[in-house]
Amino acid sequence: MVMEYAMELEKAAALKQTKLFGELSAKELSRLAHQAVAVHFKKGEMLFLSGEDAKGLFVIVDGKVRAFQHNAEGREHVMHVDTAGAVVAEVPIFDDGPYPASAVAEEDTNALFIDKGAMCQFCLDHPAFTFNALKLMAARVRRHAQMVEILSFHEVGQRLALLLLAQ
């Protein structure tokens, strides 16, 4: 019993470190922590593949995860690399589609997995959380739109300068 309580507190603390779950109350964090399952991925192990039915999302506790797209010729485009405090694969929770990219552990990684059904129910029960999640996704869409603009409408030198300024 004491061990289970300690594990729930560790899960809640990991959830609290994310932008997505960081504003939740202790009670709300506890509810999600109870739903979260601790998972471990060895370096090189796939979390999921692009196009697979989305089963849920992952919160990175420690380690590093690379999300990427690849084509039939084997060319790969890295979408993002995430470390502790990041949430991976939240998009399918909201659009009910498959995983939009593949994800692999770049190093041994500990994560929390929260089932899609549990997340959907949590969203229905907590509209303020859902609104905050949509704001975070909207910010990501804006960043992607800026990246498309930079890649499409600027010369290589200008792109490099903009990238360096952003850093």
Tens-place pLDDT, residues 95-129: 889 999 999 999 999 999 999 999 999 999 999 99
Query: pLDDT tens across 40-80, in order?
Result: 999 999 999 999 999 999 999 999 999 999 887 878 888 88
Report the pLDDT value the prediction gives residue 166, as an integer from 0 to 100: 65
Cβ pair 16, 22 in contact under 8 A: yes
H or E stretch covering 137 = helix 127-153
Residue 50: which of 14, 109, 21, 92 has the closest Cα?
Answer: 92
Confidence at 159, pLDDT banded by 50, 70, 90: low
Checking if the pLDDT of 2 tops 70, the result is no
Which amino acid, residue 122?
A: F
Question: Which residues does 99 contact at the CB level (< 8 Å), separation at least 6?
Answer: 48, 49, 50, 51, 52, 54, 89, 92
Confidence at 23, pLDDT banded by 50, 70, 90: very high
As a whole number, the mean pLDDT across the chain is 89
Question: Which residues does 154 contact at the CB level (< 8 Å), separation at least 6?
Answer: 162
What's the CA angle centered on 38, arms 122 and 104, to 5 degrees? Answer: 100
Question: Cα–Cα distance between 30 and 7 in angstroms, integer?
Answer: 11
Question: Cα–Cα distance between 41 and 46 in angstroms, integer?
Answer: 8
Structure token digits, residue 166: 């952003």
Query: pLDDT tens across 135-157, in order?
Result: 988 888 787 777 777 667 667 67
Report the pLDDT value the prediction gives residue 43, as an integer from 0 to 100: 98
Question: Which residues does 76 contact at the CB level (< 8 Å), separation at least 6?
Answer: 68, 69, 70
Checking if the pLDDT of 20 tops 90, the result is yes
Cβ pair 69, 79 in contact under 8 A: yes
